[in-house]
Amino acid sequence: MEKKESGKQLQELTKDIKGFLSYLEQNRLLLICVGFFTLLAYGGKLFHQDILMDTAVLACDPDSLLTQWISIGRFGLVVTKKIFGLVPYCDYIAAFLMVCGIYFFSLVWSYILTVAATGRHGKSITSCIFPVIFLTSPLFAEQFVYMLQSCEIAFLMAVCAVSVGAITKWICKPDCWIYLVLGMVCMVWNMASYQAFINIYISAVLAVYILLYVGHVRGTRQYDRKFFRMAVVKYLVTFVSGFAVYFVLNKIIRKIYCATTYLDEKILWRSEDVKTCIANIKNYIKLAILGEDIFYSKWFLVMVVMAVVCIAFVVVKYKKSNTLLFLMAFVALVISPFLLSVYLGDALSPRMQFSYQFTTAFLLYFMVWLVDRQWIRYAGVMIAFVIAFQQGCVTARLFALENRKYEQDLNMAYKIETRVENLGYGEVPEYPVVFVGNHGPYAATAVNESVIGISWFQYGGQGQLATYLFQYLGYPYIFPTEEESEKAAELAGKMECWPDEDSVKYQDGLIIVKLNDVQ
């Protein structure tokens, strides 16, 4: 009997996989449009490789970085990297898989929302709206500029979509327990890989709940009166259960691998006064809502205002039960991009923000689907293409800017290497190479509040991170100890700054590179 039941569960899962493939076959315009905007925003990464600090650490000392990930609760990211055999790091493989991953997760999210909205996986021109806006967001530029985890995060974004879809399928069909298991496993995997996935999971669940409700009141889906109240309970219970599993696993694993306080220090409520934290949150919300930054968009506020009108239309036209839950879900969706900021008591780094672009893209998709007029569909698609093109160009420019900075850093690194070699201690000297001060960022590449455009040598004397760049380039300079770094800073006091001839010299067992007078 159990084998028979398991067989039915697997048949249902197989049916949905075939449904996804059928969805792709029927929506060829979706495949073309998503492909075009993926290449527009990220295609340059296929031809121009550049690395940030952490990526060089992964390439030169992978065990150290993977252990660090585990120590901050990202053991799922290590598992993902091991599953795909992405250690040691290769920039060409990472770039190719990242682009493929972005293309794939865009299609998966489109499928999940379409099925939630219509209950089927048929052909629809509106299927293009969500993915093209979502994938091109400049907020992703700072996330995917970290090539060491770029393809993993792209893949895990699809895993997040599967988690939401599977949990929803179980809620709609409680007998399909295999979806509950699949959804929970994917949820914990996401949480254990990158904690910012928690936020987009919340946004996605709210979005799906809204689609289910509107589909019900419009008569395209049929549920009993208790369904939506029970759905809230089930979503909450599964989320809390998934987080509890992750929390326990994280506690155990971090204890084994000597947990660090890196993420704990991000929570400013523990170190700053309440007034400061509230001011940080207010400033961040204002910046994001008004689009006062290269990473954020003025379209967010436009979509929220227009969606409010549509929501009012739904409430007035379809006088059904559970209206309060529907309204609460909409309000929660709109504020969901800012939940992590409230938790931290601080503004979010762009790479941590997944919910903002999700909500912006979803609201346009929702409004076009809700009105359901042919001319509205075409207008909505055109608006989506305009937004996606604008965003895609910004994202591509950010990657081009980062590449330009990297080329400048390479040029400086080779000049420094030549000067070090000219000291007469060999191409790879037996003495530690110590960087004092910093250099950069370059005026032509600086982006406010972002790692994009930041020079390797801006952190030259801070933890000697620039040494990793030389190791990545094939010059295994020896790292100085903390005492040697302090000693070099004292000895450099009488030296001239880069690029003066006196800025690179050997003193007392150390090769000192003085970048500037800032310590």
pLDDT per residue over 108-120, tens digit each? 999 999 999 887 7
Q: Residue 519 has what pLDDT? A: 54
Q: What percent of the chain has pLDDT over 90?
A: 52
- pLDDT level of residue 449 (50, 70, 90 thresholds): low
CA distance 400 to 124: 34
What pLDDT, on the 0 to 100 scale, is given for residue 428?
A: 84
Phi, psi of 345 (to 5 degrees): 75, 25
Asked whether the predicted pLDDT for residue 438 surpasses 60, the reply is yes
Answer with the residue of higher pLDDT: 100 or 49.
Answer: 100
- Across 497-517, average pLDDT: 89
Assign 459 a pLDDT band (cuts: 50, 70, 90).
low
Q: How far apart are CA 276 and CA 62, in angstroms?
A: 38
Q: Between 319 and 231, whose confidence is greater? A: 231
Q: Return d(Cα 299, Cα 319) in angstroms, integer.
A: 30
Instruction: Report the alpha-carbon distance of residue 247 to residue 431 in Å, rounded.
Output: 45
Q: Is residue 90's pLDDT more than 90?
A: no
Q: What is the structure's pLDDT at 4?
A: 67
User: In the prediction, which pLDDT does 260 show?
Assistant: 66
Average pLDDT value over all residues in the chain:
88
Secondary structure of 3-51 in HEC code, one letter for each residue: HHHHHHHHHHHHHHHHHHHHHHHHCHHHHHHHHHHHHHHHHHHHCCCCC
What's the rounded mean pLDDT across residues 76-85? 90
Q: How crowded is residue 519: how many other Cβ atoms within 10 Å of its Cβ?
A: 12
12 compared with 132, residue with greater pLDDT: 132
Assign 263 a pLDDT band (cuts: 50, 70, 90).
low
The pLDDT value given to residue 299: 93
For the record, the structure tokens of 120 come out as 């089927």
507 beta partners: 510
Type of residue at 338: F
- pLDDT number for residue 518: 61
What distance in Å separates the CA atoms of residue 205 and residue 505, rounded to the nearest whole number?
Answer: 59
Average pLDDT over residues 360-378: 90
Name the residue with higher pLDDT: 70 or 201.
Answer: 201
Q: How confident is the model at residue 122 (pLDDT cuts 50, 70, 90)?
A: confident
Per-residue pLDDT band at 38 (split at 50, 70, 90) = very high
Provide the pLDDT confidence category of residue 158 given band limits of 50, 70 and 90. Answer: very high
pLDDT at 359 over 90: yes
